[in-house]
C-alpha cells in the first residue's frame, strides 16, 4: 500500500528521544492524563540537555497504574500485552475479536513524524510507527449509518492497581467523529522511535490524532465501537467545562484555568521561551474543512 500522507516534519525536527520520554517531569501536578505535544511550525528546540535515565523512565501519567509520576514506570510492567485482542463492535459488517498479530499482518506500518500538543500547554515532536485507523475500520467494515467511533482502554483490576481508586470513571474511554477517525492523519500507533511502545506509554496499541490535545490519544486500546450517537469520553465526563468532546488544539479558546495561546517546548526547562500555538496544532490545511461552519468555542 502506498504512503498516503507526507508531512513537512523531518527527522531533524524530532524532539530528542530522552526529552520525549522525560516530558512528565515538567508537568508537576498535571491532571489530564494522555497529553502529547509539538513544536510549533516544526521547529526543533536547540541546545537542550537530555534528562537523566532515571527521569526518562520514571515520569509518566497513566492513571490506571496510579497518579504519581513514578507509578506507571513502577507498576505498568504488570500489564500483560501478549496476547492482545481488539474487539470491533457496533455498526460494523465483521464484528468480533481481532488478534493484535492478525491486525498487524494486514496493516501498512509507517513512520509518522507528528507535532503533538498537550492541553496543559507544553509541546514536542514525536516520530510514531503505526498504521492509519481507516485501514482497521475498513477491515471491520463500517456500516452506512455509523457516525462516531468509540474507544476503550483495557480495564484489568488485577494488573492495574490504579483502578482501585475513582480518579476517573473506569475504563478510560474516548471517541471521534467518523470523518475524524477516517482522516489520513489519524493513526493507531504501535511504536515510538522504531521501538515497541512501552507499557507505561500505552502498549501495544494507542490512538494518535495530531490536531487534537493529547488526552484524546487513548492508550492500550481493547475495544473499538462504531455508533450513530456521540460516545462518552473520560475527561469530558470528569469535567465537561474543561474538556470538550472535540478537544481540537485552538489558541483562541483558553482552558478555564490557563491560556492556550502559547506553549512551552519540552526540554528547555520550566522557564524556556514560549512559542505561539498553531491552530489545529499546525494541521489546519489538512483538517480545518472537517469543522467548516462550526462554532469552535462551543464545540471545543
- State the cell numbers at 88: 470491533
The answer to whether 277 is a known ligand-binding residue is: no
Return the domain boundaries, the chain.
Answer: 11-291
The answer to whether 52 is a known ligand-binding residue is: no
Reported residue count of the chain is 300
The answer to whether 118 is a known ligand-binding residue is: yes
The answer to whether 69 is a known ligand-binding residue is: no
C-alpha–C-alpha distance, residues 33 and 86, integer Å: 22
- What does the pLDDT read at residue 288? 98
The answer to whether 217 is a known ligand-binding residue is: yes
The answer to whether 60 is a known ligand-binding residue is: yes
- What does the pLDDT read at residue 233? 98
State the residue for C-alpha cell 479558546.
253
The answer to whether 220 is a known ligand-binding residue is: no
- What does the pLDDT read at residue 72? 81
- What does the pLDDT read at residue 25? 35
187 neighbors 176 (Cβ within 8 angstroms): no
Q: pLDDT digit of tens for each residue in the chain (300 aa)?
A: 444 666 665 555 555 555 544 443 332 222 222 233 333 333 333 353 322 223 322 336 788 989 876 888 889 999 999 999 999 999 999 999 999 999 999 999 998 888 888 898 887 777 789 999 999 999 999 999 999 999 999 999 999 999 999 999 999 999 999 999 999 999 999 988 788 888 988 899 999 999 999 899 999 999 999 999 999 999 999 999 999 999 999 999 999 999 999 998 876 666 778 999 999 999 999 999 999 999 999 999
The answer to whether 148 is a known ligand-binding residue is: no
The answer to whether 51 is a known ligand-binding residue is: no
Question: b/e map of 249-262 (b: 16 or more CB within 10 Å)?
Answer: bbbeeebeeeebee
According to CATH, the topology of domain 11-291 is Sulfite Oxidase; Chain A, domain 2 (3.90.420)
Q: Is 200 helix (H, G, I), strand (E, B) or coil?
A: helix
The answer to whether 266 is a known ligand-binding residue is: no
What is the helix (H) or strand (E) element at residue 189, kind and residue range?
Answer: strand 187-192
- What does the pLDDT read at residue 122? 80
- What does the pLDDT read at residue 26? 32
Amino acid at each position: 500500500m502506498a504512503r498516503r500522507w507526507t508531512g513537512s516534519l523531518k527527522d531533524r525536527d524530532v524532539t530528542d528521544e530522552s526529552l520525549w520520554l522525560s516530558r512528565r517531569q515538567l508537568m508537576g501536578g498535571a491532571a489530564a492524563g494522555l497529553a502529547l505535544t509539538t513544536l510549533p511550525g516544526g521547529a526543533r528546540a536547540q541546545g537542550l540537555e537530555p534528562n537523566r535515565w532515571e527521569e526518562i523512565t520514571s515520569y509518566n501519567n497513566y492513571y490506571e497504574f496510579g497518579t504519581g509520576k513514578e507509578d506507571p514506570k513502577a507498576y505498568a510492567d504488570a500489564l500483560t500485552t501478549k496476547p492482545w485482542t481488539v474487539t470491533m463492535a457496533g455498526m460494523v459488517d465483521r464484528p468480533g475479536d481481532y488478534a493484535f498479530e492478525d491486525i498487524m499482518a494486514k496493516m501498512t506500518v509507517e513512520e509518522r513524524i507528528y507535532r503533538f500538543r498537550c492541553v496543559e500547554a507544553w509541546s514536542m515532536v514525536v516520530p510514531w510507527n503505526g498504521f492509519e485507523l481507516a485501514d482497521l475500520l475498513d477491515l471491520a467494515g463500517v456500516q452506512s449509518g455509523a457516525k462516531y467511533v468509540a474507544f476503550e482502554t483495557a480495564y484489568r483490576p488485577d494488573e492495574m492497581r490504579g483502578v482501585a481508586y475513582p480518579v476517573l470513571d473506569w475504563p478510560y474511554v474516548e471517541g471521534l467523529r467518523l470523518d475524524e477517525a477516517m482522516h489520513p492523519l489519524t493513526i493507531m500507533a504501535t511504536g515510538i522511535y522504531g521501538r515497541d511502545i512501552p507499557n507505561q506509554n500505552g502498549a501495544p496499541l494507542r490512538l494518535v490524532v495530531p490536531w487534537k490535545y493529547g488526552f484524546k490519544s487513548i492508550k492500550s486500546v481493547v475495544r473499538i465501537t462504531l455508533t450513530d450517537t456521540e460516545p462518552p469520553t473520560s475527561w469530558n465526563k470528569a469535567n465537561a467545562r474543561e474538556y470538550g468532546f472535540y478537544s481540537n488544539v485552538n489558541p483562541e479558546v483558553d482552558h478555564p484555568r490557563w491560556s492556550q495561546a502559547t506553549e512551552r517546548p519540552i526540554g528547555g526547562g520550566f522557564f524556556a521561551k514560549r512559542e505561539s500555538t498553531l491552530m489545529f496544532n499546525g494541521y489546519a490545511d489538512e483538517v480545518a474543512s472537517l469543522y467548516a461552519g462550526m462554532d469552535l468555542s462551543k464545540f471545543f
